[in-house]
Structure formats: C-alpha cells, structure tokens
C-alpha cells in the first residue's frame, strides 16, 4: 500500500473554492450535481437493462446492523409490532367484521444503515451547499437542501468500481486511501468508461471483512479504507452525479488530512453539491458484475421523501 502524504487545511480550503458549484444551476438550486442526470442520460441508462436481473445494495434494516452508539448516538433500527397474531388470537380485533390485520413501526436514526446524506447534512464555515447558513436547519429540520428535494430521483447509470479487485486483495485495509489515479485505473481495468451524470459506487470490501471476521468491530466509526482527499479531482472533473461506498463515512480513516475531519464532505458535498451514500452493501453486486462481465447498470436509489431530513435510508437497486 502506497503511503499518502497528508494534506493540510489550506489544501482542503483551496479545493473547496476550486470545486464550488454554488449558483451553477441557479440561486435556488437544491439538487447539486444530480442536475448532471438529464432526461437524455436517464433514457440511455434505462437501455442498460438487458437481462432483468436485480441486485439489492442495502444492508437489512434490523438489530444486527453495525451501530453501537459510538458515533453520534446512532443505534440500529428498532422494529416493534403494533398489532400482531396475538392481538388477533385473543380477540382484540373482534369488533371488525371478518378482516384481521397486523401493523408495525420502526424507530431509527436515518443514517444508521444504508443511506444518502442530504446536502443539508454538512456545514463548513457556517455554510452548507448553496451558501445557506445554519439558521436553515432547526429543530423542525432543514428548510433548504432537505433530502425530500431529491426524492423524485436518484436514478441513472450506475458504475461499480471494485477497488479490491483492482488492488488484487480480498478487501482493502483500514487507512488505505483511494486516489484519483486509483479510480481512473480501476475504470480502465474493468473496461468501463465513466461519463457525466454517472452514479459511482465504490467498493472497499470492508463489509466482506466484517462478515469474514464475524463481527462489525469498530466499523460504524473506526478506521476504514476509503476515498482520499485527492480523489476529489477525478470525481469533480468527471461530473459524477453522486458517490456511494460500503463504509460508514465514505472517506479513508484516519483521514489523510491534518486539522480537517472528513475533508471530502466539505469539498464534494458542501461545495460541489455531490450527494454521498454510505453503508451500501456492494458484495453481491461485485460478484454479479464480474459474472456478467460489465460494471455498468441502471441504478435506482431514491431517498424517502422525509420533509426536512438531512439524510434518508434507501434501498438501492442495480438492474442489469
């Protein structure tokens, strides 16, 4: 593994300024780089469906997820039955003619499992995407850049970059930073051309490692392989619409920057307007892509239209 030189705060600030897209699609824009997915691009993506095979890219939403409360008090989903078979058996619904039913509820942090970060999720120097201040996110939620603003679709051409395959390992090790050169190399190796408006899924194999070891360990907030700060060049220059990974925070941990926590969240999400997806399960997708001999597919992953939310659980589907 190549040792990556740590970058300082000034370097991160320079990339924030260089890759800022505030106002690129008008002063009222709340979609960011998803604007690159034009109707024409979406129509071409639909043409990638040839066999009808569907691959889920989500972890199950249950008590066996990776959360332990270590980061921000996040916990795994709590599923509770409001009406179950016992209610039926003991006559609690006998006032109804013929019909009987079951009902349930879920309590969960919106970022505890497979999810999208909204553009209102991260602030830098008191501003989120578009230059809006902290006053736009209150106890009632986000008045600007909430996840519901893109509920009509995060859908388009998906491209998987299988980084362990590129590096020739089972899974990448914590602290291994992915560079722009690595992303370009993986796309060449896999024979897939990355295009404007693509949604890029980046596999590190960390979920495979957790399954092989039989424990999540410190997955939800600990050291991890992931995107290094210099990957911003490739992501921005290729006009990528959205990026998702199989780690808790998308970025390499420890970060390859001094004095800046999660620098890509500042560069890509706050300034370039790129939605970030985290905790995506890409293991089955990697096997299917290798078997099919292609790493492009129709990718459909709309967030839930939760008004004012700064993130959303999602069930992403890759369709071949």
Q: Flag whether pLDDT at 2 surpasses 70.
A: no
Instruction: Specify the pLDDT at position 213.
Output: 97
Average pLDDT, the chain: 97
pLDDT, tens digit, 9 for 90 and up, residues 111-169: 999 999 999 999 999 999 999 999 999 999 999 999 999 999 899 999 999 999 999 99
Q: Flag whether pLDDT at 5 surpasses 80.
A: no
Instruction: Specify the pLDDT at position 46.
Output: 98
The full set of domain ranges for the chain reads: 9-70+109-319, 78-107
Contact 44, 198 (CB under 8 A): no
The tokens for 234 are: 């490739």
Q: Taken in order 268, 274, 275, 280, is the CA torsion positive or negative?
A: negative
pLDDT, tens digit, 9 for 90 and up, residues 51-66: 999 999 999 999 999 9
Query: Mean pLDDT across the stretch 76-81?
Result: 98
Instruction: Specify the pLDDT at position 3.
Output: 52
Overall pTM surpassing 0.85 (yes/no) = yes
The tokens for 46 are: 């639909």
Among the four given CATH numbers 3.40.50.2300, 1.10.3720.10, 3.40.640.10, 3.50.30.50, the one describing domain 9-70+109-319: 3.50.30.50
Distances 52 to 5, 192, 319 between C-alpha atoms, Å: 44, 20, 6
Instruction: Specify the pLDDT at position 210.
Output: 98
Q: Which residue has the tokens 């553009």?
A: 119
Query: Mean pLDDT across the stretch 214-229?
Result: 97
300: left (phi over 0), alpha (psi -120 to 50) or beta: beta
Q: How far apart are CA 105 and CA 80, in angstroms?
A: 5
Instruction: Specify the pLDDT at position 181.
Output: 98
């Amino acid at each position: 593994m190549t040792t990556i030189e740590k970058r300082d705060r000034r370097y991160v600030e320079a990339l924030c300024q260089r890759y800022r897209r505030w106002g690129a699609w008008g002063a009222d824009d709340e979609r960011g780089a998803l604007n690159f997915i034009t109707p024409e691009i979406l129509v071409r993506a639909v043409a990638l469906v040839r066999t009808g095979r569907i691959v889920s890219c989500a972890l199950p939403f249950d008590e066996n997820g990776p959360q332990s409360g270590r980061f921000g008090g996040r916990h795994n989903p709590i599923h509770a039955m409001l009406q179950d078979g016992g209610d039926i058996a003991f006559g609690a619904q006998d006032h109804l003619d013929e019909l009987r039913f079951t009902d349930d509820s879920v309590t969960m942090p919106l970022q505890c499992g497979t999810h999208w970060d909204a553009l209102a999720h991260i602030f830098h120097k008191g501003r989120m995407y578009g230059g809006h201040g902290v006053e736009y996110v209150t106890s009632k939620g986000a008045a600007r850049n909430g996840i519901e603003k893109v509920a009509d679709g995060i859908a388009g051409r998906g491209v998987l970059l299988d980084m362990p395959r590129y590096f020739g390992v089972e899974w990448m090790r914590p602290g291994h930073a992915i560079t722009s050169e690595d992303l370009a190399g993986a796309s060449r190796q896999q024979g897939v051309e990355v295009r404007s408006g693509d949604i890029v899924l980046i596999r590190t194999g960390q979920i495979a490692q957790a399954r092989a070891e039989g424990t999540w360990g410190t997955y939800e907030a600990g050291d991890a392989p992931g995107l290094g700060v210099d990957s911003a060049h490739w992501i921005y220059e290729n006009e990528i619409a959205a990026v998702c990974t199989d780690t808790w925070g998308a970025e390499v941990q420890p970060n390859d920057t001094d004095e800046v926590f999660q620098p890509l969240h500042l560069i890509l999400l706050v300034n370039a307007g790129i939605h970030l997806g985290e905790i995506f399960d890409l293991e089955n997708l990697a096997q299917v892509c290798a078997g099919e001999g292609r790493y492009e597919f129709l990718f459909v992953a709309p967030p839930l239209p939760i008004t004012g939310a700064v993130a959303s659980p999602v069930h992403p589907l890759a369709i071949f």
